[in-house]
Amino acid sequence: MPDSVSLGDQLEVSAIGFGGMALTPVYGGAVDDEESLATLHHAVDVGVTFIDTANIYGSGDNERLIARLLADRRDEVTLATKFGIQANPAERTQGRISPRGDAAYVRQCIDESLQRLQTDVVDLYYLHRRDPNVPIEETVGAMAELVTSGKVRHLGLSEVSAAELRAAHAVHPIAALQSEWSIWTRDIEAVIVPAAAELGVGIVPFSPLGRGFLAGTVRSAADIGEKDFRRTMPRFADTALDANQAVVDAVIGVANEVGATPAQVALAWLRQRADELGAASVPIPGTRRAARVDENLASLSVTLSPEQIAGLGNAGNAVTGARYADMSSIGSSRE
C-alpha cells in the first residue's frame, strides 16, 4: 500500500492521518497530556505524519499540545488546522455551534493559531463550518490571501455542499474537503464525493470508525468519552442503538473472515470505497493510545472482496438516527 496520497493542489500526505480532537476532553474523560504527546511522537515515528487539529479543540489547548510535537519535528509533519467555529460554550453544550467566516475573522484566527502552534506556516488550513451569513467566496478569498502572505500553504473546507465546494474552488484551489464518512455515514457519496473527484479535491474523512459505534464493543470507550458522546447523539438513543448494533456486528463478521480487527475493516472499507468512486482519500482516525495508531496504520494491508465491500455498505445503509442532535450547522449543506 502507498506510504502517501496526493490530495488536491499537489498536497502530499501520509496515507493515514491522525485526528487530534481525541487528545482533548471534547467528549469527556480525563486526558493525560504526556501520554497524548507520546502518542503523537509515536504516530510520526511510524509514518502517520498528517496531523489534524482545530482552534476550537480544547479552546486552543489541542494546538498548544501539538506545538510541543512540532518544536522538534516540524519538518516531519504535515500540519492541518481549522477555524470558523466561535468558542461559545453554552451553545456547544447544547450540541450547537456558532460559525463565523468574515474576512477579519479569517485573519484573526490564523494569527492566533500560528501563535499557539509556535510555527510560521500551516500546511492545510480549513474552514471548519461555512458561515451562512457570509458568501463562501468572501471567506475563501480571505483564506487565499493567507497563501499569498505565506502563512498557509493549502486551503481546505469542512462539511460543505458540492455547490459550495465548486464556488470556493473557483476562487482558489481547494486541496481537501473534510467531512464525516464511514460505513455508518455515507451521505456524501451521492453528490459530494463525485464533485470532489471531478475537481481534483481530496477527501479527508473524519470519524472514519463511525464516531462511537465501535466504542464499548471493539474499541475502548475511554478512547472517546462514551457517556458525554452519547448524550448528544440521536444514533445512540436506546432504540436506535439496538438497531445500529447490527452494523457493528456486520463489521465484526467481516473482521473474523479476513483476520483483521473491526477498526481495520472499517478503514479498509473506506479506502476501497473511495477508490471505487475515484476519489483520493485519507482518513484521520483519532486515539489517545499508541497501539491504536499501529492498528489503524495496519489497515493499509487489509483488502476486502467486492462482495464484502458491498455487504458492509448495505449494512451501513440501515443506520438510523441523525448524527448530531442539532444539524443546523450542516442542514442543506448535505446532498
Residues annotated catalytic, as ranges: 57
Which residues, listed in sequence order, are joined to residue 99 by a DSSP beta bridge? 85
Candidates 61, 50, 40; CA nearest to 6 is 50
- Give the closest residue to 223 by CA, choosing from 239, 205, 246, 207: 207
Do residues 288 and 296 touch, judged by C-beta distance below 8 A? Answer: no
- Considering just the CA atoms, what is the radius of gyration of the chain in Å? 18
The CA angle 210-23-214, to the nearest 5 degrees, is 25
| Biggest CA-to-CA distance, the chain | 53
* Nearest-angstrom CA–CA distance, 10 and 174: 10
Distance, in Å, from the CA atom of 146 to the CA atom of 155, rounded to the nearest integer, reads: 9
Helices 33-45 and 61-73 cross at an angle (nearest 10°) of 40
C-alpha 321/C-alpha 243 separation (Å) is 10
Tell me the sheet residues that pair with 150: none
- Calpha distance 183→210 (Å, rounded): 7
